[in-house]
Amino acid sequence: MNSLNQMAQTFHENAKSKGFHPEHETIREFMANQCNNICGEVAELWDAWRSGKEFEPCDKAHKMSELGLYPLNCTEEELADIIIRALDLSARLGIDIQRAVESKHAYNTSRPYKHGKLN
């Protein structure tokens, strides 16, 4: 299995080749766009659930099947988009995302139930 850093680099190279990292764009502009795009993917995930279409084939499922790929449902597609965008961002920023995720998970295991909140 590839590490998160390897996946991040693969996603980043693909995003660059598809024009999602224009040379004229500053890192601040990229960050703003990427954060907005991640929020957009989260909103699409919520919209699928709100409309009861969470497990229906996504709008790209037919094309995925034609390409010999596993056709995704709406939930799978949006979660994948969120992860891909986050990993692309980490690669662009030069973050060791594998280390960051492992460290954050280890920290989370030390926290109390519901982080000490009663509700």
Q: What is the value of pTM for the model shown?
A: 0.91
Question: CA angle, 89 as apex, 25 and 65 as ends, to 5°?
Answer: 105
Contacts of 15 (CB under 8 A, 6+ apart): 21, 88
Task: Sketch out the chain's domains with CATH numbers.
Answer: 4-116 (1.10.287.1080)
Question: CA angle, 45 as apex, 107 and 83 as ends, to 5°?
Answer: 45
pLDDT tens track, the chain, 119 positions: 479 999 999 999 999 999 999 999 999 999 999 999 999 999 999 999 999 999 999 999 999 999 999 999 999 999 999 999 999 999 999 999 999 999 999 999 999 999 888 77
Q: What is the pLDDT of residue 1?
A: 46
d(CA 61, CA 107): 38
